[in-house]
Amino acid sequence: MNLKKGIIHTKGLKGILISAFIIFAVNGTAAAGGLFGPPQPVSKEAGGFHTGIGYGYHEDQYRKDTDHTIRQNQVYSELGYGAKIWGFYGRIGVSDLKILDAFRSTQASATTSKNDFKDDGKLFGTLGGQGFYPFNRTFGIGAFLQGSYYFQDFTDDISGTHNGALFTTELKVKNLWDVNIGIGFQATVSNDIKLYVGPYLYYFQAKISPAVNIPGLPFFAGEITIHNKTNIGGFSGIDVLLARGFHLVVEGQYSERFSVGTAVTYSY
């Protein structure tokens, strides 16, 4: 009787995890430093290195006096070391940055040549660590900490008129960094597939600095600090063993907006 209840309970938990993954995967369109990844490290159980490459599309809302949407496309490489229940990793990559309506005028006296801020190809680095506790061969729980920093400033030029006078100036986004901490629940649905889901806390910060002050433009009244509008989110993903040592990870994240990312890793 107890065995039967245990089987039903296990099937129920597995169903919850699968449903949660489907919800995130269908709605999702990745965090600022890339994927969080499955709770269980991708390194071999006996211990060893792993390498990988990844892509992430990140979208979120950030607060100043009004809300602004930020979008990023990121490509990165990863090197990590770990074992069955713990792991550490580092990433290096490049990213673009787009801030919607960063140049949109709020006054009739000012006009601009474009509305959105955009810059490409800036270098960033990410460090992360994780721990994992298996309940049994099917279920487990893990925790992670991940942080990223951008080593280069994002800049974009803007031209327009203010009170009939022409101007050309620059807007700079600098000291951009973020930190994430969360927990994840994992279900192994076969020998080759793992599903995972969980909540996370997230904080992002950057300074925005104009070359000159232009009345009527959102970010042109002096240097300001922006941060994310929402500090909590959820994530869900799937880890598939492609071939010996190779894993494919696809993950969706939701905070204020949806994001998505994918990575291929190889364990040595």
pLDDT for res 215: 85
> What span, in angstroms and rounded, lies between the C-alpha atoms of 159 and 232?
37
SS3 of residue 213 by DSSP: coil
pLDDT for res 32: 61
- What is the value of pTM for the model shown? 0.83
Instruction: Kindly state the tokens that stand for 112.
Output: 């601009």
10-24, 102-116, 171-185, 211-225 — most confident range: 171-185
pLDDT for res 2: 46
CA dihedral over 214, 216, 222, 224, signed as positive or negative: negative
Query: Are the C-beta atoms of residues 171 and 211 closer than 8 Å to each other?
Result: yes
CA dihedral over 35, 38, 43, 47, signed as positive or negative: positive
> What span, in angstroms and rounded, lies between the C-alpha atoms of 127 and 25?
25
56-66 confidence digits (pLDDT tens): 999 988 876 67
pLDDT for res 191: 78
DSSP conformation class of 114: -
Length of the chain: 268
Q: How confident is the model at residue 204 (pLDDT cuts 50, 70, 90)?
A: very high
Q: Report all structural domains of the chain as residue ranges with CATH numbers, in order of start.
A: 2-267 (2.40.160.20)
Bridge partners, residue 202, by sequence = 180
205-254 confidence digits (pLDDT tens): 999 998 888 888 888 778 889 998 889 999 999 999 998 899 999 999 99
Q: How confident is the model at residue 21 (pLDDT cuts 50, 70, 90)?
A: very low
Choice among 3-12, 122-131, 179-188, 190-199 with the minimum mean pLDDT: 3-12
